[in-house]
Amino acid sequence: MKKTLKKIILMLISLFVMVVLLFPFYWMVLTSVKQPGEVVTSPPILITTKPTFNEYYEVLTRLAMGRYMRNSFIIAFSAMTITIILGVLAAYGLARFKIRGLQLFLILLLVFQFLPDVSLVLPLFIIFSKIDLLNRYISVILANVMQQLPFVILILRPYFLKIPKALEDAARIDGCSSGGTLWRIIIPLAQPGIVAAAILTFLFCWGEFVFALTFLSRNEMQPVTIAIYNAIGQYGIRYNRLMASSTIAIIPVVLIFIFFQRYIKGGLLIGGLKE
Amino acid sequence: MADIQPKFIVGRKIRTGRKRSRSFWRNEHFAGYIWIIPAFLFLLAMLVYPLLYNFILSIQDVTHITLLRPNKDFVGLRNYLAVIKDSTFPLVLKNSFVFTLGCIFFQFVIGFALALLFNLEFPLAGTFRGLLLVTLMVPTVVVSVIFRWMLSGDYGLINELLVWLKIIPRGIAWLAEPDKALFGVMLANIWIGISFNTMLISPGLTAISPQLYEAATIDGAGAIKKFYYITLPLLRPTILIVLFLGFIYTFKIFGLIYAMTGGGPVNATTVLPVYAYKLSFAHLNFGQGAAANVLLLLILFIVTSFYLSLTSREEMEE
């Protein structure tokens, strides 16, 4: 009895903590559906009785939010595809074969993740301007791949290490080429890892800010993060509009989070501290 | 999201080079390189080369006027001197360290507390822990606008709350006052960082054997003693890595601050990455921007070396 009571108290405390921590999201959504007169009030209105989707309509039509979402999708999806292809190949090579300097390569991949994006955006900007890649999706896509690839190789490699070598040898003996072995044996078995890596890459690219801000000055090419940034300047204190844009921008994030949560957790915690 | 990507965690199990008999060696030796060459070349062109190029830019005279000239003047360390001697540079450094250390302190303490809480047995503990991760997945610019709104001087939720609790007499324009703005951006970042810390500390806590606590209970140890003599020492490697990664990922934050305040008011929230970016893309002084980048990398390099030497020394002692 005492134990049950303790558990209930703990749960209530945690629930309170979670409500406080996740309150900013509630506030965002609430502000976005409030009647114009309810947004800036003192005391603040904590619940709305007649929600309006007017700002969503405005944001989607006048602000062309749909186009920015499409741009984000093009960038994140392409970057994810390239990263996963390069990452799977490299992780497989690093897991299965004897590579001279393996340690060094792995440490470098680890250290690459500590590099600030700001330190790379300047040289890449100048390089891209010379080869005329600015204001093309490919500039941001390449920069995103660069940023995600070391991480993807590092989280995929343990998955490949776990697959028994005997399975591969069996495939070889049955006449599978090494490419065929990768495609038919390794990739299906490492699928949870690959899905996790792909989802995380997509989400990180979806939220990427500094490369898009710098490389894409043409409004019609910009992703949703830059659209929101620009909306701050444009609509300053029209918070219901800003919150509507923000809500739209995180709908894909929330959907992916709901459907793939177990992959995300697994991907983030692979190896490492779990020992 | 981007700025604090929880990526590294992967790093620790990497030392497992496969051992193979020598007869296989030669054959598979070359085969292995074929798989890694595409990624290797890609990173060489898109990451290593730009880093070196950044270094070259930092010792040349590069402004928007000279940018497209094939030969730029070599200026030695003049860009570095200009950056360091700039009157705002001490403030930028101070902001960077106050922001980073302040954020780490609060997000570590709160994140640790939450990890302890969610490690206890009660219904929904796992769900809550999982739900926390969503704050890490949201684009940082969204976090920026939400907190701009919540910290707003007029009708901002945080002011309304503080006034209602009678902590402050009237609303504060958190992001518009030079002596308060840094706290404003810190609050937003701490909010993101809590989940990051909880996520990293939780597995370390679960790994501690419950038998240790049981034995301590039998010996009459209270909760505080158990925490101090069992949890903390066993968690030491986890804590070190969390603090180290926290430092690196917080020190290089750009987007969150840039979207919240643009570094203002009057440089009150200009941290080193924001400073470097603005030198390049607001003042179009690319040479000095590159020099500021190198200084930023240098600080991160020093911190990384310090961490590595600390952990490797401890490993040797064991």
Query: Using the beta-carbon criterion (under 8 Å), do A21 and B138 form an inter-chain contact?
Result: no
**Residue pair B252/B3 in contact by the 8 Å Cβ criterion:** yes
Query: Using the beta-carbon criterion (under 8 Å), do B31 and A97 form an inter-chain contact?
Result: yes
What would the DSSP string read from start to end of B37-67? Answer: HHHHHHHIIIIIHHHHHHHHHHTB---TTTT
pLDDT of residue A172: 80
Picking from B18, B141, B293, the nearest residue to A122 by CB comes out as B293
pLDDT of residue A170: 84
Taking the CA of residue B65 as centre, how many other CA atoms within 13 Å lie in the half-sphere pointing to its CB? Answer: 2
**Residue pair A250/A39 in contact by the 8 Å Cβ criterion:** no
pLDDT exceeds cutoff 70 at A266: no
**Residue B60, beta-bridge partner list:** B74
Query: Using the beta-carbon criterion (under 8 Å), do B277 and A118 form an inter-chain contact?
Result: yes
pLDDT exceeds cutoff 80 at A264: no
pLDDT of residue A40: 82
Query: Using the beta-carbon criterion (under 8 Å), do B146 and A237 form an inter-chain contact?
Result: no
> Between chain A and chain B, how many beta carbons pairs sit less than 8 Å apart?
333
The residue in chain A having the minimum alpha-carbon distance to the alpha carbon of residue B142 is A246
Q: Which residues of B touch A230 (CB under 8 A)?
A: none
The residue in chain B having the minimum alpha-carbon distance to the alpha carbon of residue A178 is B31
Picking from A13, A103, A122, the nearest residue to B280 by CB comes out as A122
Query: Using the beta-carbon criterion (under 8 Å), do A214 and B207 form an inter-chain contact?
Result: no
Distance from CA of B62 to the nearest CA of A (A): 11
Picking from B67, B146, B297, the nearest residue to A27 by CB comes out as B146
pLDDT of residue A272: 34
Q: Which residues of A touch B51 (CB under 8 A)?
A: 115, 119-120, 123
pLDDT exceeds cutoff 90 at A210: yes
pLDDT exceeds cutoff 60 at A44: yes
User: What average pLDDT does this structure show over A8-21?
Assistant: 91
User: What average pLDDT does this structure show over A188-217?
Assistant: 93
Helix or strand or coil: residue A208?
A: coil
Higher pLDDT, B65 or A88: A88
Picking from A87, A209, A246, the nearest residue to B145 by CB comes out as A246
Q: Please provide the average confidence, as pLDDT, over all residues in chain A.
A: 88
Picking from B42, B149, B241, the nearest residue to A243 by CB comes out as B149
Q: Which residues of A touch B38 (CB under 8 A)?
A: 86, 89-90
pLDDT of residue A269: 58
Distance from CA of B73 to the nearest CA of A (A): 16
pLDDT exceeds cutoff 50 at A260: yes
pLDDT of residue A273: 31
Query: Using the beta-carbon criterion (under 8 Å), do B36 and A89 form an inter-chain contact?
Result: yes
- Residue indicated by tokens 């006034």: B163
Q: Which residues of B touch A13 (CB under 8 A)?
A: 117
Distance from CA of B248 to the nearest CA of A (A): 7
Q: Which residues of B touch A44 (CB under 8 A)?
A: 155, 157, 160
Q: Which residues of B touch A98 (CB under 8 A)?
A: 17-18, 20, 25, 28-29, 32
Distances (CA, A) of B5 to A210, A259, B245: 14, 20, 10
Query: Using the beta-carbon criterion (under 8 Å), do B191 and A8 form an inter-chain contact?
Result: no
Q: Can you tell me the distance from the alpha carbon of B137 to that of B292, in angstroms, rounded to the nearest whole number?
A: 29
Q: Can you tell me the distance from the alpha carbon of B311 to that of B304, in angstroms, rounded to the nearest whole number?
A: 11
Higher pLDDT, A57 or A184: A57
Query: Using the beta-carbon criterion (under 8 Å), do A154 and B248 form an inter-chain contact?
Result: no
Query: Using the beta-carbon criterion (under 8 Å), do A116 and B140 form an inter-chain contact?
Result: no
pLDDT of residue A175: 80
The residue in chain A having the minimum alpha-carbon distance to the alpha carbon of residue B242 is A273
Distance from CA of A9 to the nearest CA of B (A): 9
The residue in chain A having the minimum alpha-carbon distance to the alpha carbon of residue B294 is A119
Of A201-210, A239-248, B27-36, which gets the smallest average pLDDT? B27-36
pLDDT of residue A222: 95
pLDDT exceeds cutoff 90 at A122: yes
Higher pLDDT, A204 or A233: A204
Q: How confident is the model at residue A268 (pLDDT cuts 50, 70, 90)?
A: low
User: What average pLDDT does this structure show over A172-188?
Assistant: 82
Picking from B10, B199, B258, the nearest residue to A155 by CB comes out as B10
Query: Using the beta-carbon criterion (under 8 Å), do B51 and A106 form an inter-chain contact?
Result: no
Q: Can you tell me the distance from the alpha carbon of B300 to that of B251, in angstroms, rounded to the nearest whole number?
A: 8
**Residue pair B246/B269 in contact by the 8 Å Cβ criterion:** no
Helix or strand or coil: residue B74?
A: strand
Testing the interface with A: which of B30, B138, B198, B302 to mutate, by most A Cβ within 10 A?
A: B138
Query: Using the beta-carbon criterion (under 8 Å), do B145 and A250 form an inter-chain contact?
Result: no
**Residue pair A110/B267 in contact by the 8 Å Cβ criterion:** no
Q: How confident is the model at residue A7 (pLDDT cuts 50, 70, 90)?
A: confident
Q: What is the pTM of this model?
A: 0.89
pLDDT of residue B6: 46
User: What average pLDDT does this structure show over A206-228?
Assistant: 95
Q: Which residues of A touch B291 (CB under 8 A)?
A: none
pLDDT of residue B50: 96
User: What average pLDDT does this structure show over A44-66?
Assistant: 88
Per residue of chain B (318 residues), give pLDDT as tens.
444 444 444 444 444 445 444 444 445 557 778 889 999 999 999 999 999 999 999 998 888 777 777 778 888 889 999 999 999 999 999 999 999 999 999 999 999 999 999 888 888 888 888 888 888 889 999 999 999 999 988 888 998 899 889 888 888 888 989 999 999 999 999 999 999 999 899 888 888 888 888 888 888 888 888 888 888 999 998 999 999 999 999 999 999 999 999 988 999 999 999 999 999 999 999 999 999 999 999 999 999 999 888 887 777 766
Q: How confident is the model at residue A85 (pLDDT cuts 50, 70, 90)?
A: very high
Query: Using the beta-carbon criterion (under 8 Å), do B9 and A271 form an inter-chain contact?
Result: yes
Q: Which of A146, A155, A168 is nearest to A97 (CA)?
A: A168
Query: Using the beta-carbon criterion (under 8 Å), do A118 and B276 form an inter-chain contact?
Result: yes
Distances (CA, A) of B136 to A247, B35, B184, B192, B239: 16, 32, 19, 6, 19
